Structure 1
């Protein structure tokens, strides 16, 4: 009997309290504002604690994608292994994707998977991040320049060759990744079988239309990233909502979510600043010597590789393959962009090379 009376009294007290809150909110807007703010603050605090706990966890899927380099730095990667069965090719060919800027391999994963499918999964395909552009915490949140990205890619390829000296290497560079791919060709000329240079940003990019447009942002690469700091502090759930609003294809949401970090932004802008300063003339002797291995893939119009650059490259390197595709510079973001680019790339990789004339 006593317990039933206690329950009735508790229910009555709760009902009275709710009625008081309802009447207070109805009669006074200020009470409604304070109550709403308190509820919002409480929900935000709880979400932040959950977000911090989630961020503190090291995912096994991420650890499995980290490559240790001889440079004492770590690199994030996406790996599509070759198929091993009685019908698979015995050739040891590594197709290496060198990204543009931002250097996040997740943006290239649909392209990689389509290329992997077209090749019958006979080739290992690896997409490498630029150091600090993906999972920045694995390198202590440091920021790196363009030359560091080149050095780390060389370290990765050298490690693979030491493991298997018979390895055949295909390089697929995109944008500034084409410059890095050419540097790899210079270091490993006998190992590199073919190169695909997609929308190549390889010379005088500070003078291109997009380079001039973006220069004010790159000049202030030291402090601009801190404008992204408030976004980095948002709960993960809210960041996912923002990514879904601003990044169209769902397959890129995870890669874009990783960029909601001011350290990643700092790395992207610092690298871009060095690109503007350091990329002048293309290494003509290198490209001329190996042009029979190279396919240039241009866009109808590309602010990073404008028409006069396209004409110059086509005129200089007549033994190279040249194609033009109706895709934007960020081809992977276009509808069917990854599929179209994978089709062209697969066709070129299956085309026998014509050796240069003696």
Structure 2
């Protein structure tokens, strides 16, 4: 059942047989609307793909548009479980989660969501974060019937993930110890929601983290969610390798890239390489010290950057 609060709608829908969390600010106007244009901002999140992390960012974008353009975020398959979902059993920890939770499966999941829920005459502004940028790049060839106004690629992990500073640490950890992490989360899941919230609060105690991020983080005490997040992350390390130059050349005129100045998932050297390969591309290097996980400490600020950047394309 959908939850409505201050313009926010939070709901779970079936996408390719997976219950999927969708967060929305605003709805698409009717086809006979008097609005000057039907436009939608669609966010493809990073990993973990939990839409609640993006609520502050989304709300700010929606406000900046004068509440004219809806802002939606579609969660990744299996990264949030709906009410009443059975918990992951101990024997399930060692099982293969299934291809629909892989990186390729998540791309198909997003294509299906777009085709089933967004009319083709609606103009799209796609906003990718981290691995969401890789997904957008691979979604675009399959949604040619849509008018893509712009793709904003924020802190894009679209090449050589395993060779990044974080990738060198996480690749062996995910290959050899992923199931141990899921097992630890399974044990912690018995602690109960009150203690979970205290632990999240303690973790974020020194940072001004928005309430939506605290709520989103509570999902990480669910072993089913962590199983799917880490499974996808393991595949990311293996699959995100050489830059997909053919796709970039094909769609570069619709893309804007935003790189972090000290991003251990996407070093600024990757930004410089992109500028060298695509000298006419719209590529920026952050000068505001935003972190890769900007939703934790700079959601509003990042939304202002995106909105101001977009004005020349609306």
From 58, 74, 99, give the equivalent of 1:112.
58
Mapped partners of 1:350, 1:241: distance in 2: 41
Query: How do 1:283-302 residues align onto structure 2 when only pairs under 5 Å count?
Result: 283-302=244-263
Q: Which of 317, 328, 338 matches 2:291?
A: 328
Give the match's secondary structure for 2:220.
coil
Looking at structure 1, the residues matched to 160 and 125 of structure 2 have their Cα atoms a distance apart, in angstroms, of 26
Q: Distance in 2 between matches of 1:154 and 1:83?
A: 18
Unaligned runs of 5+ in 2: none
With the length of structure 2 as denominator, give the TM-score of the two structures: 0.85
Is the 1:99–1:128 contact (alpha carbons within 8 Å) kept by the matching residues of 2? yes
Write the deviation string for residues 323-347 of structure 1: whole angstroms up to 9, x where unpaired. 122211111222xx11221111102
The one-character-per-residue Cα deviations of 1:282-306 (angstroms, maximum 9, x if unpaired) are: 2212211221211100111211111
CA distance in 2, matches of 1:88, 1:177: 33
CA distance in 1, matches of 2:186, 2:210: 24
TM-score, with structure 1 as normaliser: 0.75
Give the whole-Å Cα distance in 1 for the aligned partners of 2:83 and 2:185. 16
Is the aligned partner of 1:73 residue 2:18?
A: yes
Does the CA-based 8 Å contact 2:210-2:296 persist in structure 1? Answer: no
SS in 1 for 2:221: coil
CA distance in 2, matches of 1:111, 1:88: 27
1:242 is aligned to 2:199? yes
Map 1:328-347 to 2 at 5 A.
328-334=291-297, 337-347=298-308
| Larger Cα-atom Rg | 1
Distance 1:106 1:97, change over 3 A: same
Question: Is residue 2:70 matched to residue 1:124?
Answer: yes
User: Is contact 1:244–1:250 with CA below 8 Å preserved after alignment?
Assistant: no
Give the whole-Å Cα distance in 2 for the aligned partners of 1:273 and 1:136.
24
Taking a change above 3 Å as real, the CA distance of residues 234 and 88 of structure 1, as seen in their structure-2 partners, is farther
Deviations 1:92-135 (A, max 9, x none): 11111011111111111100001111111111111111111112
User: 2:313 aligns to what SS in structure 1?
Assistant: coil
Give the 3 Å change call, closer, same or farther, for CA 81–153 of structure 1 in structure 2: same
- In structure 2, relative to structure 1, the CA distance for the partners of 1:222 and 1:347 (3 Å cut) is same
Alignment CA distance shift 1:214-1:137 (3 Å): farther
Alpha-carbon shift at residue 82 of structure 1 (Å): 4.6
Aligned with 1:233: secondary structure?
Answer: helix
Q: How many residues align?
A: 289
Is 2:304 the partner of 1:304? no
What CA distance in whole angstroms lies between the structure 1 residues aligned with 2:301 and 2:3?
29
Does 2:158 align with 1:202? Answer: yes
- Preserved CA contact (<8 Å) 1:232 1:261: yes
Q: Distance in 1 between matches of 2:2 and 2:126?
A: 28
**Candidates 180, 197, 212, aligned match of 2:168:** 212
